[in-house]
């Protein structure tokens, strides 16, 4: 690679940084014999950067200028195992809520407070399959009550504050049983900058958000958010399931950023790519081995698309655990979690191949006669009026509430408003809950769809909601375990317009 600076141009902290694409941008330029090879690895670098740094607290796309990148990215001795050039690999991804390097104005704008120090608000394990053709991302809830080596039992996000990157790696290794080959740490400003560099991000929420702490509000629907608002969206816990809802939003945002970063509009636009470079590199900290060969890894990921990236969350047995310290925490379902990590070790896919006939193309048969398994009190529903009948959405919401369901957001409306039959739509893995909803609405049809939660589209033949009885099994010694989380691809996570 040949690098030269034109016209005496110097790169400073306030400058746009490295320019790509020729002397018209007055900066770094690739020699012609290396350009084709560099572009061949571009997709891989974008996948690496997006997965490494679009995790709630930091985001970005790493570029192919190895000398410049190496000089900008910080490295740390994280106690990771390293890896061969090929073969399966696990990367611990940590989003750090670092405040002591922010100005007071930035702290006030982002509602981060003024405490000095760092906390990990996000932890994910990224698994690359042996042939590096598939990527699995497992979210670890920040409130997971686990054993921190040498420190006793604590929330998993405390490992970083108690012992930095090395202890965070050890804690995750002990909890999951996985070898951690590499470590990537990102911070809050990188997330904001990369979202803005990409022109914003598209998100969709099935429920209203009203965060009293930050003042961030959002009605149900699909929205384009800038960097600061996207940060609020990804960080807020002001919904019914708190941190678990936040994990869903994080995975949605990562998927959307990954899609936008890989889009032709970004790849073919030197200005956008330059903005991504200058806004990202200084926000990353990686283990020493990865810092030396980040581009080699990225080159192996050049063919990965959003269809090849799967997201899931550690299965939980108790989402309202009271720790001996009095803290509210969550407990993993040890059996289900052990099976999840066994499957990851074995490179087993978590997402089934798409069926030949789309599940959302036509309604499923009427709810089966099999016994219902999920009671209304555990099911949150969004109501959408699919007709021109004024007030039908509000009426349906009230009747669902009386039947014991949770309906946390105001009713919406479809476009066009011409539905005759009432439809219960649900995401993959939520069929049992959807069956309960459909059983409570006589004549309703079931349909699996790419929606974030269970949704009732009310048709003109809606005749009301009735109460249903669900015979629950004997209560276990701890609160009922959550159903094993369904894995979804990045493509499935992306909001449909």
Count CB neighbours of 348 within 10 A. Answer: 11
The closest alpha carbon to 336, from 314, 319, 312, 320, belongs to: 314
Question: Which has more pLDDT, 180 or 261?
Answer: 180
Distance separating alpha carbons of residues 230 and 276, to the nearest angstrom? 17
Res 377: pLDDT: 81
The contacts of residue 254 (CB under 8 Å, 6+ apart) are 50, 51, 54, 55, 59, 137, 311, 490, 493
Portion of the chain with pLDDT greater than 70, in percent: 67
C-beta neighbour count of 467 within 10 angstroms: 11
What is the average pLDDT score of the chain? 75
**What pLDDT does 296 receive?**
66
Coil vs helix vs strand at 36? helix
What would the two tokens of residue 376 be? 């209304």
Is 176's pLDDT higher than 90? yes
Residues 138 and 124 sit within 8 Å (Cβ to Cβ): yes
Q: For residues 326-355, give the mean pLDDT.
A: 87
For residue 270, name the pLDDT band (cuts at 50, 70, 90).
Answer: low
Residue 482 is encoded by which pair of tokens?
Answer: 């959550």
User: How many beta carbons lie within 10 A of that of residue 63, not counting itself?
Assistant: 26
Q: What is the pLDDT of residue 111?
A: 53
The structure tokens 């192996």 sit at: 300
pLDDT at 234: 87
For a pLDDT cut of 90, what percent of the chain falls above it?
30
For residue 453, give the H/E element and its range: none
pLDDT of 36 above 70: no
Cβ(137)–Cβ(311) below 8 Å: yes
Question: What number of CA atoms fall less than 13 Å from residue 460's CA on the CB side?
Answer: 7
Q: Please check whether residue 231 is in contact with residue 225, taking contact to mean a CB–CB distance below 8 angstroms.
A: no
What's the DSSP call for residue 391? T
Other C-beta atoms lying within 10 Å of the C-beta of residue 478: 12
The residue assigned the tokens 């990225």 is: 298
What band does 231 get if pLDDT is binned at 50, 70 and 90? confident
pLDDT tens by residue, 111-141: 555 454 466 778 999 999 988 888 899 999 9
Mean pLDDT, range 436-462, rounded to an integer: 90
Name every residue whose Cβ is closer than 8 Å to that of residue 310 and which is 6 or more positions away in sequence.
Answer: 134, 135, 136, 137, 349, 350, 351, 487, 488, 489, 490
């Amino acid at each position: 690679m040949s690098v030269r600076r034109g016209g005496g141009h110097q790169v400073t902290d306030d400058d746009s940084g490295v320019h790509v694409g020729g002397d018209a941008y007055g900066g770094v330029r690739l020699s012609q014999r290396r350009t084709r090879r560099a572009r061949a690895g571009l997709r891989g670098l974008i996948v690496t950067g997006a997965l490494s740094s679009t995790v709630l607290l930091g985001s970005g796309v790493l570029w192919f200028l190895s000398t410049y990148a190496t000089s900008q990215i910080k490295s740390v001795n994280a106690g990771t195992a390293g890896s061969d050039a090929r073969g399966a690999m696990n990367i611990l991804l940590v989003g750090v809520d670092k405040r002591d390097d922010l100005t007071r104005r930035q702290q006030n704008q982002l509602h981060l407070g003024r405490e000095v120090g760092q906390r990990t608000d996000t932890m994910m394990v990224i698994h690359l399959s042996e042939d590096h053709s598939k990527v699995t991302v497992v979210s670890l809830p920040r409130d997971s009550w686990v054993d921190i080596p040498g420190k006793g039992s604590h929330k998993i996000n405390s490992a970083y504050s108690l012992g930095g990157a090395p202890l965070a790696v050890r804690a995750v290794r002990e909890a999951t049983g996985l070898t951690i080959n590499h470590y990537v740490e990102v911070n809050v400003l990188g997330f904001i900058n990369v979202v803005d560099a990409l022109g914003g991000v598209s998100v969709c929420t099935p429920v209203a958000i009203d965060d009293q702490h930050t003042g961030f509000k959002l009605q149900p629907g699909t929205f384009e958010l800038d960097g600061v608002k996207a940060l609020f969206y990804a960080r807020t816990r002001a919904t019914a399931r708190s941190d678990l809802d936040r994990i869903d939003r994080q995975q949605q945002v990562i998927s959307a950023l990954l899609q936008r970063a890989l889009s032709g509009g970004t790849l073919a636009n030197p200005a956008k790519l330059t903005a991504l470079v200058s806004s990202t590199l200084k926000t990353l900290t990686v283990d020493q081995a990865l810092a030396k060969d980040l581009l080699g890894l990225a080159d192996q990921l050049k063919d990965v698309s959003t269809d090849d990236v799967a997201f899931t969350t550690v299965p939980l047995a108790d989402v309202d655990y009271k720790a001996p310290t009095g803290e509210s925490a969550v407990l993993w379902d040890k059996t289900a979690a052990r099976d999840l990590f066994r499957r990851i070790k074995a490179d087993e896919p978590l997402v089934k191949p798409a069926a030949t006939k789309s599940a959302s193309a036509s309604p499923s048969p009427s709810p089966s006669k099999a016994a219902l398994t999920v009671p209304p009190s555990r099911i949150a529903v969004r109501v959408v009026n699919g007709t021109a009948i004024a007030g039908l959405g509000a009426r349906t919401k009230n009747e669902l509430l009386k039947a014991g369901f949770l309906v946390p957001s105001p009713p919406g409306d479809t476009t066009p408003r011409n539905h005759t039959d009432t439809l219960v739509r649900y995401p993959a893995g939520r069929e049992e809950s959807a069956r309960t909803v459909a059983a409570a609405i006589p004549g309703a049809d079931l349909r699996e769809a790419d929606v974030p939660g269970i949704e009732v589209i009310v048709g003109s033949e809606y005749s009301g909601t009735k109460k249903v009885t669900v015979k629950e099994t004997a209560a276990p010694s701890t609160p009922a375990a959550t159903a094993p989380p369904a894995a979804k691809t990045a493509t499935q996570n992306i909001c449909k317009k």
